[in-house]
Structure 1
């Protein structure tokens, strides 16, 4: 792979604006190459005139060096192409600190085409100064962070001594030099409100708590510091890679310049690069060694192999068997669909009473899995495009490095589940078609329930199979959503809650499962008890409201923590949606003109509010004065038209959902449950499209702030006098 394509692939996505703009400099060199080719072609048919080169003419007047001088001849000054000088400037971005700025003087600007080369070196200097300033800023940040971690480690070691065995420690301190326990008198615990217990405690107490010297306190502090060291080490590796890649990029571009212009300017410029802060600074390498030593000693009990595996996890390998099973399950799914269609046609289930009975009972039971598989397929598509366009979804979601699922793994789960579902559907049909088993209708009705049990058991399976890390990550996020607003709201939590708002019909199907099997309707395949129950109807409204109410609580929590008025407006958006959902549900149960007007008005307001929020706030589009009119300054997708098409599609899909629930249009050739399922699928598709642009906007915000590693809250706070020591 050429360096121009490999360079952005190895760069840290959030720092891409700070890297050398290799493609821009390459474009300038291409202009120089085109100019020289034109000059060559214009003189190819002209007879060359005898001329004496400047090099030969000047050499006639050079001082005589003698015949006995055995040293190698020095480089002639007239062969010099550039002179690179460095000046000390006060960098306002670094608080007025001194930084070096490099400027290249091009000595051949008077030659034909020299103006193009002058532009190239000006661009080259700009890129190098940009890279050097950024690198120095990040190194200074890392040094300050290392000092902070030093003080934190002093407190942790003192707390560890105090908690484990203070009497023995006092006895041993007479024989060995032990860490001072005086630091504990100057620190307090930072009680972050991340759990229900800490949230409730923070309501009555200050966030800075006195030390209690217990093991739980020690365990929590040690866990936070361990995570802080992991993130700090990752940042240092990013910096090391940043310096290496940029040095390589400047070397490549200068060699390309020499090749195009037939000059020898790379030696002088690369010598400056080698002598600059970018190459000479060794703070990052030293910090990496110290961090690794501290981490291995204090967090891995001196086990270097375990410590290095934790600090530098191996990259995930692409397994060919995953691709094989994806294709295998996909083929099996198609075959099972064909078999189901043939079975339905043979039983003539689309005609007569059989259709009504199946659509009212069996269809809701299995459509639940259809919604789930479709959402997983949309997520697989999201992962594919996030990976293709370098959206760092793994960092944004906070996945443990190397555990994130690629799109093939998600497809494997999706098609594997679809095979299981379709096989159950076919078995259900075949068991009734077989004369020997058609009397066991109760047994056939239990197949969907058995399938639900299997899926739930797989999700909560404690064994290290079937992507356990990802399953537990998902379950933790689900639990945080259920317990909102007691847990600290992170992006995965509210992102998942937004997914639930697009799966209202799936949640209603879960309610149908509870009613159908709980009240025994499955024994006679009749959902009349559920459909005619007032309690069931009320719970149906409550279940539809729950996902939006979770988002309201999350917005309240985020507003209380950050005092961000945007979160208050976001909460109002979900409240308007709740009003629309309740009014639509009441209208569907009790038809009437007043309810129809209320449902239409509330749904219209909620749709306008939500559509505006999707496009402007979540996607960051409709910026009037941006570089891309009515979009945003930075775009990831190559075509701007995709953004406009997506905005229109978002509006259409939202309106389609509103119209169907309000029964503005009835489809006589489709059963009502089938029509509801189709519109529910359209909402899932809309959510899948929303997911890509929502994370794209989040990624660009991280890029704008050069945020490439997570900020981990530290366990201790200090008095100012001690912190400044």
Structure 2
């Protein structure tokens, strides 16, 4: 792999604008070669205008680059056996200060101007200096943020130590000044080095307690409030009707929860520091590579002087990050790993997720078997002429809706797998956006495995159901036949709620937690996974109605004779069906109000009105279907048009971030991930068309002479699921680009302690 591609693959996606623009500098070197070729051919008098958009052709030489080896020593790599004299240096890099600013500004000048130094080379070094100044500025800013965060964690750690001592020994009293946790960590590192403490050695519990008591002042607890209790519907109601006050009494449960939160904060902080170290390393390597490429292309000796400057700059000479990494590791090992360095480092440095070949193998097997079952079902329907049989209407009315539940799930999972594939391809950090635990998120292969397995089970059940219906000897056991979809549903729900560590338990519980938050809306703080899931639920209204039919068919109806007309015709059934259709939109409506109440975004008031208009449209359409009449039809049509226009506009402008007039890309965002702008316009048109599909009940398109009504309903429901899948990609793309614009690459972990009047802990 060439360095440019490997460099791009190692970037933190949200920081990509802060990295050195290696590809553009390669283009400028290409322009230098073109300029020299013009000079060589006697065309140097022609006016030369550099073209930043000139395509960069790859070198014909094959070379291997490894980012895990030393970056060729920067200046050491240029110390060949034959050193060039200082007179051979062609550039001088000056460090200047901007007016009224403390930041250094590096500029490169040529020492010996000659005719072969053209405008293209001046442009190259000007852009190179700009890139280096950008990298230095960003690095300094992030280091400052890390230092401030380390101080905050130090205060939190002091409070935790004091609290643990107070819980163990209520009579203990100390007024000794508190040492910084990072300072304690540095002492710990020095002490270990002096006494030769090995990685596997542990400090006993009594030693740690004595050490803590020597350094902690309990006065800090007089100003501390602990915020560790998990958010519950009851706690949300209490907070809504009462003012929070400082509480100076703490329990063992609160201490354990505070320790868990602080442990997670240290893990996240350690990851930030590691990413910042990688950022500095990659950029130094990139400057080394581009200067070598310049020397090779121009036969100059400019890299030595420039890389000496890089080596002496803050990017290489700063040791704050390395010291913070050592301090964090020492504190974490001491307080959260019982002094076991191996265990502590294993927790801090999570291994990268490994793709298993067995997942791909079983996915291929399940997909192949599913296709075979599809062919078998089609042949059975055609050979037995089931579409014209007498039991066709009963089967489509009673059995088809039962199996279509799994069809909707399979289609939704397929769209989600496709989204994950393209998110990863275009480097959308979906695991960070959704807040998955490290290395627990499902890739598209795992989602396809679950989807293909569910598809295989569903198709096998359909095939067995058809076979038992057709076989004359098995018709007496129709009771068992019609219980097959119910058994399949119970099996799926059992696996979904299984507490054992099988079938991606972490992802299943994450989904269940989000569903619970949606059910208890607005008593939980709304996060992106919660409202993203609620948006998925609004596209699965027909699935919920079919789940309602399970109760109607197996409890109220007579599944032994495939009769459900009495249940379907009751007013209670229709009322419940209306409520089920409204619930997903009600959840989103309440989520918008909760976000507005929390002060996140004032536009959530308009978003709430959007879902309110959708609820009105659903109610109007339902009454029209039940009662008919011209007046109800006009009301339903008007409400549906308003809701469709409102939803479409919000999709394109707010959720996707499109239709911007003054953008660099006409009517699109300034920054796009897809390579062609036409994809976005096609997606807009498809979204509008599929949005209109839900209005089919208003125009009486739910009846067709050549397609059964239930099949047509399933078709329109599938179109809505496909529309939602397309929406998912662009919605998360917009969220990712917002994170990129704010360089937001890490989640904020809530700290367990707050203190009164900003007093130091």
When the two structures are superposed, what TM-score results if normalisation uses the length of structure 2?
Answer: 0.88
CA distance in 2, matches of 1:242, 1:673: 56
**CA-to-aligned-CA distance 1:356-393 (integer Å, 9 cap, x gap):** 11110110000010000000000000000000000000
Verify: 1:675 aligned to 2:684, yes or no: no
Aligned residue runs from structure 1 range 536-555, under 5 A: 536-555=573-592
CA distance in 2, matches of 1:169, 1:207: 28
Q: CA deviation at 1:562?
A: 1.1
Q: Secondary structure at the match of 2:93?
A: strand
Alignment match of 2:157 (pick from 153, 158, 162)? 153
Q: CA deviation at 1:322?
A: 1.2
Could you tell me which residue of structure 2 aligns to residue 249 of structure 1?
286
Could you tell me which residue of structure 2 aligns to residue 100 of structure 1?
104
Structure 1, unmatched stretches of 5+, are 44-71
Alignment match of 1:85 (pick from 94, 114, 128)? 94
Q: CA deviation at 1:109?
A: 4.4
Seen in structure 2, the aligned counterparts of structure 1 residues 473 and 246 have a Cα distance that, compared at 3 Å, is same
Could you tell me which residue of structure 2 aligns to residue 29 of structure 1?
29
Aligned residue runs from structure 1 range 215-230, under 5 A: 215-230=252-267
Q: CA deviation at 1:167?
A: 4.7
Compare 106-115 and 428-437 and name the one that shifted more: 106-115
CA distance in 2, matches of 1:676, 1:164: 65
Q: Secondary structure at the match of 2:475?
A: coil
Seen in structure 2, the aligned counterparts of structure 1 residues 576 and 191 have a Cα distance that, compared at 3 Å, is farther
CA distance in 1, matches of 2:40, 2:295: 17
Aligned residue runs from structure 1 range 701-712, under 5 A: 701-712=738-749
CA distance in 2, matches of 1:41, 1:380: 55
Seen in structure 2, the aligned counterparts of structure 1 residues 659 and 112 have a Cα distance that, compared at 3 Å, is same
**CA-to-aligned-CA distance 1:617-658 (integer Å, 9 cap, x gap):** 000000000100100111010100111111111111001221
Q: Secondary structure at the match of 1:104?
A: strand
**CA-to-aligned-CA distance 1:80-128 (integer Å, 9 cap, x gap):** 210011123367xxxx5x2211111123544235211111000000000
CA distance in 2, matches of 1:116, 1:654: 52
CA distance in 2, matches of 1:581, 1:377: 27
Alpha-carbon contact 1:190-1:209 (below 8 Å) kept: no
Could you tell me which residue of structure 1 aligns to residue 74 of structure 2?
none
Could you tell me which residue of structure 2 aligns to residue 510 of structure 1?
547
CA distance in 2, matches of 1:515, 1:366: 15
Alignment match of 2:133 (pick from 108, 129, 136)? 129
Q: CA deviation at 1:216?
A: 2.6
Q: CA deviation at 1:162?
A: 2.0
Verify: 1:288 aligned to 2:346, yes or no: no
CA distance in 1, matches of 2:426, 2:520: 35
Compare 462-471 and 267-276 and name the one that shifted more: 462-471
Aligned residue runs from structure 1 range 543-692, under 5 A: 543-562=580-599, 564-660=601-697, 662-664=699-701, 666-692=703-729
CA distance in 2, matches of 1:278, 1:198: 47
Could you tell me which residue of structure 2 aligns to residue 471 of structure 1?
508
CA distance in 2, matches of 1:501, 1:633: 30
Compare 458-467 and 125-134 and name the one that shifted more: 458-467
CA distance in 2, matches of 1:213, 1:636: 50
Q: CA deviation at 1:76?
A: 4.6
Aligned residue runs from structure 1 range 97-496, under 5 A: 98-167=102-171, 177=214, 179-190=216-227, 194-496=231-533
Q: Secondary structure at the match of 1:177?
A: helix
Compare 432-441 and 327-336 and name the one that shifted more: 432-441
Compare 653-662 and 450-459 and name the one that shifted more: 653-662
**CA-to-aligned-CA distance 1:17-57 (integer Å, 9 cap, x gap):** 000011111110011122223444559xxxxxxxxxxxxxx
Q: Secondary structure at the match of 2:8?
A: helix
Compare 108-117 and 515-524 and name the one that shifted more: 108-117
**CA-to-aligned-CA distance 1:391-428 (integer Å, 9 cap, x gap):** 00010000111111111111111011100110011111
Alignment match of 1:498 (pick from 530, 535, 538)? 535
CA distance in 2, matches of 1:312, 1:662: 59
Compare 126-135 and 286-295 and name the one that shifted more: 286-295
Alpha-carbon contact 1:193-1:202 (below 8 Å) kept: no
CA distance in 2, matches of 1:412, 1:330: 9
Q: Secondary structure at the match of 2:98?
A: strand
Structure 2, unmatched stretches of 5+, are 44-80, 175-205
CA distance in 1, matches of 2:554, 2:282: 62
Q: CA deviation at 1:166?
A: 2.8
Q: CA deviation at 1:192?
A: 8.1
Seen in structure 2, the aligned counterparts of structure 1 residues 695 and 215 have a Cα distance that, compared at 3 Å, is same
CA distance in 2, matches of 1:332, 1:300: 48
CA distance in 2, matches of 1:196, 1:649: 40
Could you tell me which residue of structure 2 aligns to residue 51 of structure 1?
none
Alpha-carbon contact 1:580-1:606 (below 8 Å) kept: yes
Q: CA deviation at 1:73?
A: 11
Compare 226-235 and 648-657 and name the one that shifted more: 226-235
Could you tell me which residue of structure 1 aligns to residue 5 of structure 2?
5
Q: CA deviation at 1:223?
A: 2.4
**CA-to-aligned-CA distance 1:543-563 (integer Å, 9 cap, x gap):** 000000001111111100016
Seen in structure 2, the aligned counterparts of structure 1 residues 368 and 175 have a Cα distance that, compared at 3 Å, is closer
CA distance in 1, matches of 2:335, 2:264: 13
Could you tell me which residue of structure 2 aligns to residue 54 of structure 1?
none
Alpha-carbon contact 1:190-1:208 (below 8 Å) kept: no
Compare 446-455 and 582-591 and name the one that shifted more: 582-591
Seen in structure 2, the aligned counterparts of structure 1 residues 191 and 464 have a Cα distance that, compared at 3 Å, is closer
Alpha-carbon contact 1:89-1:100 (below 8 Å) kept: yes
CA distance in 1, matches of 2:211, 2:338: 24
Seen in structure 2, the aligned counterparts of structure 1 residues 587 and 106 have a Cα distance that, compared at 3 Å, is same
Compare 291-300 and 610-619 and name the one that shifted more: 291-300
Q: CA deviation at 1:294?
A: 1.3
Q: CA deviation at 1:465?
A: 1.4
Alpha-carbon contact 1:431-1:438 (below 8 Å) kept: yes
CA distance in 2, matches of 1:367, 1:236: 49
Q: CA deviation at 1:434?
A: 2.6
Q: CA deviation at 1:718?
A: 1.8
**CA-to-aligned-CA distance 1:440-495 (integer Å, 9 cap, x gap):** 11111100000001001111111111111111111111111111111111000000
Seen in structure 2, the aligned counterparts of structure 1 residues 200 and 329 have a Cα distance that, compared at 3 Å, is same
Alpha-carbon contact 1:190-1:715 (below 8 Å) kept: yes
Alpha-carbon contact 1:109-1:117 (below 8 Å) kept: no
Q: Secondary structure at the match of 2:239?
A: helix
Seen in structure 2, the aligned counterparts of structure 1 residues 370 and 721 have a Cα distance that, compared at 3 Å, is closer
Alpha-carbon contact 2:165-2:213 (below 8 Å) kept: no
